[in-house]
Amino acid sequence: MHIRQRRGRPAAVVLAAATALVLGTGQPAGATDGAAPARTQAQPEQQSVTLITGDRVLARAGQPTGHLVAGPGREDVTFSTFAADGHTYVVPSDAAPLIGTGVLDRRLFDVTTLLESGHADTDRDSLPLLVTYADGPAAASTMSSAGTRITRQLPSIDGAAVRADKDSATELWDSITGGPESVTTFAGGVRKVWLDGMRSTTLDRSVPQIGVPAAWEAGYTGAGTTIAVLDTGVDQTHPDLAERETAERNFTESEDNIDHVGHGTHVASIAAGTGAKSGGKYTGVAPAAGILDGKVLNDSGSGRESWIIAGMEWAAEQGADIANLSLGGGDSAGVDPLEQAVNTLSAEHGTLFVIAAGNSGPRASTVGSPGTADAALTVGAVDREDDIAPFSSRGPRLGDGGIKPDITGPGVGIVAALHSDGSIGEPVEEGYTALSGTSMATPHVAGAAALLAQQHPDLSGARLKRLLMASATPTEGAGVFAQGAGRVDSAAALTQTVTAEPASINLGVQRWPHDDDTPVGKELTFANSGAEEVTLRLAVEATGPDGTPAPDGVFTLSATEVTVPAGGTAGITVTGDTRAAGVDGIYSGSLVATAGDATVRTPLAINREVESYDLTLNAVDRAGDRTGQYSAFLFGFGDNRLRFPYEEDGSVTLRVPKGEYLLQGTVRSGEPGTTADLLAYPKLSVDGDLTVDLDARQTKPVDIAAPHESARPMLTEVSYTRAARGSTFNSGFVALGEGLERLGTAHLGPQLPPAELTALVSSQWVTEPGGEYYGLAWYEYGRLPTGLTRDVRQEDLATVRTGYGPIPAGVTGIAGATPSPRLQAGGAWGALIEIPESGPRVAHFTTEGVDWNRTLFLEDDESRRLHSRFEAPPRSYQAGRDYTESFNRAVFGPVMPESRYQHSWVTRDGNRIIAQVPLFGDAAGNAGYSATDDSSLRLYRDGEEVEAERGLFEVEPGAAGFRLTAEATRSNVDLSTRVAASWTFDSTTTDRPTRLPVSTIRFFPRLDEANSAPAGRTFVFPVAVQEQGSPVTKVPHKLSAEVSYDGGQTWRPAGVLGNSQLVVQHPAGADTVSLRAKATDGNGNTVEHTIINAYKLH
């Protein structure tokens, strides 16, 4: 960076923006019940979230745009940003090596996940963590200071659940990293740090289907066994579950142990319900089993990982034979804390953890954690015909290609107990409801395990798992990564005497090329618990990656027949030989051992690696030395996978499939925070072993000077968007403040077509004194600039003077701006600056090929929650011209300004209507959001309300008449204290996202600086309608209006002149004016607005 003059930081401007910027909405962003009306403001466009480092991000979930604020004392830290597959990451430079070495959970920097799972700053003032120990006493001491508190010890993972106050997050970060320099391991006795994330329920003619009546006839009902149901709680008042509980405990933050969701009640009833209310019709699998009721999911159906771990520990300590977990979340390669707890508790207590696979099918490698734990009996779902349910998650397991799920159970249209609230699923008859999901399949297997545990009370959970898998019935044509061993069969399991160890065989990966592959074998041991020897005939049924039968020789057995003595064991060797295969990929199937009517099935697989190569990355600093002071990531356009390669010595080798990748590295030289070099391969083709040097000496400097000598940088960004193979990846580098002395950039690899790469260099400055803002941005297409020199002249810029409406006492206004390419959707990162107490803010912007997106945040000083937020539509400027703009001036009401996003405001896409209605836009036409006391958004199709989820309405196909209503009340201001709007329109199924014929009514009274007009006189002002997404207003076809001077208690007609002006008579003594108007367009579509206390009188 080129800086003409260095001075002290402008305290009144930049530091004010870097201290307390917490954006709130007044409402939680948690999940809502699908039958409830969506809240208009429940998930606003932008929210603030504090990272574990203390840095703050204000962003739209899933969008690579927003504002960054460095934590206290962290002004010299830089950031890498990237967005793919709907997730946006912001990674500080001192966190990247810890992510790369696997000791820091990257979800802590996944802004999308943090916002969507309720970790926004408006939702909670602490960050929930899971911390594992390298040195228990030292870690406990560290976690008991620096603004943190241990909320629960978790011995199964040798760690604890911790709450870190966001206000002191930077202090915690410094205490576990040992200071500002990049490190690769934690200090203070800490081994790993994870987000204590949220997991949820796995919802998306069952008992006879799995052979349970035969088990009952044999006298097995689960008597004497205990099933722990770790879920949303169990409704003990339901007749099917009365007196079934042996103990209960609430591990959540909910006030009680009652099941307010209904999921846990349904699950418990499938596993162990008596069927009393239905006269036995809906009896569970093990109706005599006892139930341990562990509430680990809250009243929204979600639970923290620490709650679930604590529930598992409690269940094991209580002596549960089986623990049912119909819950889960995303998996990652390696062992996470939940998986670790399952494995540890299974080994120490002998508990069998039966866990849902998840409902993310039919895509491969979607089985969720903790079902991915080795010790778990992981359950997929089948329908009543034993076909694999489309939603049921599939393997292989991420990372090692392990075989998951292990088994399947009925999970489609399952009828079981309905909790007393009666608000889940599809009610079937009084007290019962139907649900689908692997959540329902799991308790079928748990109940079957209880029947086995009654028959064999001495068996460990691991042996129960082997029995259930060995006796399962396969679904013909379904691979092992969809079903494991097959559908659970209780009748067969109770007569099964032979099992196999291990229960499944993963023969690993044979590296490409395959001309030197060597066979790999594993021992398989059969155990016979019966009184007579058993002779097993052995065969392999397997398919290749293309679904055809595997060639002979891919799987071979050391024997085709084996005799297992009574009470003894016998072993064979299973060998995989990929030299016999033709197509690269995973070969899988089952080893089938038969003896008369008895069958033992053992899933098996081997991976003949697809064409893959070693990719070696070397980080080299400006002195030419290899360095560990770097961060890098690799994104594969073929597998849509994001990797964080790192080794402390500066050289790391990855194994990757042949294909196209995006590689970015940032290398730091000298003192931390003073230099950074960004090197990017937007297109890296890997078609052989490859070594790439991320060599800082290849870069050229970014050298920018603002026109004003006292201007100093607040933010510098270099970013780019890459499009390929239907995927879009956004990545970049951001430095805050003026600590960065040199920034270099280099584009490596080929130049791309302009449509495939959009690159941005942005620099935002502020002057002292005066606090004038400079927004400087340049776009290039097809390449990332290798260095950039700009000596900006004042005549190259547009000047914008922005006035602001009155800011309430105790509220601070903070403004930001981000660039975007001309006439394109997109965004970037911006700095924030406090607006002046009086007078306009003067800003200067570059103009060539760039639009500017401006935002005003109003924040409560004491609570640090959002008061209001205004977002201007993208605006283009001309160099040398002066502009005047405004924010936060009345009348505040519905505004849907110009937008470049397909699903902005109210659109229809096929048979889905998406609605977001900003109810508090200002007079200038900026979209406005506010903290609210209450709000609602409802849609009616031909008079019947449509169920909604976060403004998404699934509607019946075909043409119909619709009515959309939106309403909100607020008490944090004295204007627009209640805004209500409704629209009527006709719509039919569309073949693309289509904006619906929805407009807003805009009122333009001429008000003073206090948003007030004279009382005691006639007042005439313009009125117009504005179609959503349009930059212009127009005269409505038909207009009627009313006015109120007592807060909407009584109304009187307002005069209408030419459908374009309202005439009102302001009475003396009135304080405010409320407005109500209805407009109709030429096609009969209507809009009606009511704004209580629209403006003041004086």
Q: Which residues 6+ apart lie within 8 Å of 794 measured at CB?
A: 707, 844
* Alpha carbons 882 and 851: distance in angstroms, whole number: 16
Catalytic site includes residue 439? yes
Note the pLDDT tens digit of each residue in 277-306.
Answer: 999 999 999 999 999 999 999 998 999 999
Question: Which segment of 30-44, 665-679, 695-709 scores lowest on mean pLDDT?
Answer: 30-44
**Residue 16 reports pLDDT greater than 50:** no
How would you label 37-48 residue by residue, b for 16+ Cβ within 10 Å and e otherwise? bbbbbbbbbbbb
| Element at 497 (helix H, strand E) | none
Q: Write the DSSP string, 956-997.
A: -SS-EEEEEEEEEE-SSSSSS-EEEEEEEEEE---SS-EE-S
What is the separation of C-alpha 721 from the centre of its chain, rounded to a whole number of angstroms? 21
pLDDT value at residue 332? 86
Read off the pLDDT of each residue in 738-762 and give the average, rounded to a whole number: 91
% of the chain at pLDDT higher than 70: 93
Q: Which residue has the higher pLDDT, 7 or 653?
A: 653
Catalytic-labelled residue, pool 123, 204, 231, 922:
231
User: What's CA 67's distance to the chain center, in Å?
Assistant: 19
Q: Decide: 268 and 283 in contact? Cβ < 8 Å.
A: no
- For residues 676 and 94, the answer to whether their CB atoms sit within 8 Å is no
Q: Which residues contact 547 (CB under 8 A, 6 or more apart)?
A: none
Cα–Cα distances (Å) from 157 to 296, 328, 1061, in that order, read 17, 18, 69
Higher pLDDT, 995 or 770: 995
The model's confidence at residue 76, banded by pLDDT at 50, 70 and 90, is confident
Q: How far apart are CA 156 and CA 335, in angstroms?
A: 13
Is residue 159 a contact partner of residue 138, using CB atoms and an 8 Å limit?
no
Q: How many CB atoms lie within 10 A of CB 267?
A: 36
Query: 209-213, 325-329, 848-852: lowest mean pLDDT where?
Result: 209-213
Selecting among 439, 820, 987, 1074, the annotated active-site residue is 439
DSSP secondary structure code for residue 259 in this structure: -
- Measure Cα distances from 820 to 753, 803, 824 in Å: 19, 23, 7
CA distances from 1034 to 831, 995, 997, 1022, 1031 (A): 36, 18, 14, 11, 10
The pLDDT, as a whole number, for residue 8 is 33
Averaged pLDDT, 689-703: 96
Q: Are strands 994-995 and 1012-1013 parallel, antiparallel or unpaired?
A: unpaired
Residue 774 has pLDDT above 50, yes or no: yes
**Domains, the chain:** 200-454 (3.40.50.200), 508-608 (2.60.40.2310), 906-1097 (no CATH)
Q: What pLDDT is recorded for position 822?
A: 77
DSSP state of 893: B
Q: What is the pLDDT of residues 1040-1083, one digit of tens each?
A: 999 999 999 999 999 999 999 999 999 999 999 999 999 999 99
* Token digits of residue 1009: 């600086």
As to burial, measured by CB atoms within 10 angstroms (0-12 exposed, 13-18 middle, 19+ buried), residue 176 is buried
CA distance 114 to 126: 12
Burial group, residue 1013, by CB count within 10 angstroms (0-12, 13-18, 19+) = buried
Mean pLDDT along residues 699-707: 93
Across 514-554, the runs of DSSP E, i.e. the strands, are 520-528, 534-543
The strand pairing partners of 941, in sequence order, are 944, 962
Q: Is the pLDDT of residue 1014 over 50?
A: yes
How many other CB atoms are there within 10 angstroms of residue 8's CB atom? 7
Q: Catalytic: which of 67, 119, 238, 263?
A: 263
Residues of the chain above pLDDT 90, percent: 70
Q: What is the pLDDT of residues 507-564, one digit of tens each?
A: 999 999 998 999 999 999 999 999 999 999 999 999 999 989 999 999 999 999 999 9
CB contact at 8 A, 162 and 306:
no
Helix, coil or strand: residue 214? helix
DSSP letters, 408-454, are: EEE-SSEEEEPPTT--SSEEEETTEEEE-SHHHHHHHHHHHHHHHHH
Least trusted range by pLDDT, from 85-89, 465-469, 542-546, 879-883: 85-89
Least confident of 251-260, 565-574, 1027-1036: 1027-1036
* Greater model confidence, 879 or 201: 879
pLDDT at 7 over 70: no
Out of 179-193, 715-729, 765-779, 887-901, which region has the weakest mean confidence (pLDDT)? 179-193
pLDDT tier at 758, thresholds 50, 70, 90: very high
Which tokens in the block code for residue 172? 């915690």
Q: Are 405 and 370 in contact, with CB atoms under 8 Å apart?
A: no
Give residue for tokens 């390419």.
Answer: 821
What mean pLDDT comes out for the span 874-883? 95
What confidence category does residue 642 fall into, taking pLDDT thresholds of 50, 70 and 90?
confident
- 773: its two tokens: 């803002």
| Beta carbons of 875 and 852 less than 8 angstroms apart | yes
The per-residue pLDDT for 25 is: 23
DSSP letters of 1012-1056? EE-SSEEEEEEEEEEETT-S--B--SEEEEEEESSTTSS-EEPEE
- For 226-256, the pLDDT digits (tens) are 999 999 999 999 999 999 899 999 999 999 9
Q: Please, which residues bridge with residue 561 across strands?
A: 537
- Is the pLDDT at 20 greater than 50? The verdict is no
CA–CA separation, 912 and 249 (whole Å): 41
pLDDT averaged over every residue in the chain? 89
**Confidence bin at 37 (pLDDT 50/70/90):** very low
Provide CB contacts within 8 A for 126, sequence distance 6+.
Answer: 163, 164, 165, 166
- Adjacency order of strands within the sheet including 912-915: 948-949, 952-954, 912-915, 906-909, 994-995
Q: Where are the beta strands (DSSP E) in 319-398?
A: 322-325, 327-328, 352-356, 377-382
Question: How many residues are there in the chain?
Answer: 1098
Cα within 13 Å of Cα(785), Cβ side: 21
Where do the DSSP E strands lie in 737-849? 742-747, 757-766, 773-781, 788-791, 798-804, 811-821, 829-830, 832-834, 841-845
Sheet of strand 832-834, all strands in order from the earlier edge strand to the far edge = 832-834, 811-821, 850-860, 866-871, 927-930
Q: What is the pLDDT of residues 132-166, one digit of tens each?
A: 988 777 777 777 776 788 999 999 999 999 999 99
CA atoms within 13 A on the CB side of 790: 20
Separation of CA 861 from chain center: 30
User: Is 231 among the catalytic positions?
Assistant: yes
Q: Average pLDDT for residues 68-85, to the nearest whole number?
A: 86
In one letter, which amino acid is 998? V
DSSP H or E run through 677: strand 675-686
Q: Which two tokens stand for residue 158?
A: 């040798």
pLDDT in tens, 786-822: 999 999 999 999 999 999 999 988 899 999 999 988 7
The angle subtended at Cα 546 by Cα 544 and Cα 550, nearest 5°, is 25
Q: Is the pLDDT of residue 672 over 50?
A: yes
- CA-CA distance, 717 to 1094, in Å (whole number)? 41
**What single-letter amino acid sits at 931?**
A
Helix (H, G, I), strand (E, B) or coil at 858: strand
- Checking if the pLDDT of 574 tops 90, the result is yes
Residue 443: pLDDT band (50, 70, 90) is very high
Mean pLDDT value across residues 678-699:
96
Q: What is the pLDDT of residue 227?
A: 98
Bigger pLDDT: 184 vs 1043: 1043
116 — pLDDT class (breaks 50, 70, 90): confident
Token pair of 518 as six digits:
């060597």
**């900006």: which residue's tokens?**
792
Residue 347 dihedral angles phi and psi, to the nearest 5°: -70, -40
Query: What is the reported pLDDT for 823?
Result: 60
Instruction: Compute the Cα dihedral for 201, 207, 209, 211 and give only its sign.
Output: positive
Residue located via tokens 């006292």:
710
3-state SS, 576-590, equals: ECHHHCCCCEEEEEE
In whole angstroms, give the CA distance from residue 827 to residue 818: 6
Q: From the CB of residue 179, how many other CB atoms can be counted at a distance below 10 Å? A: 12
Q: What is the pLDDT of residue 181?
A: 62
According to the model, what pLDDT value does residue 38 have?
Answer: 31
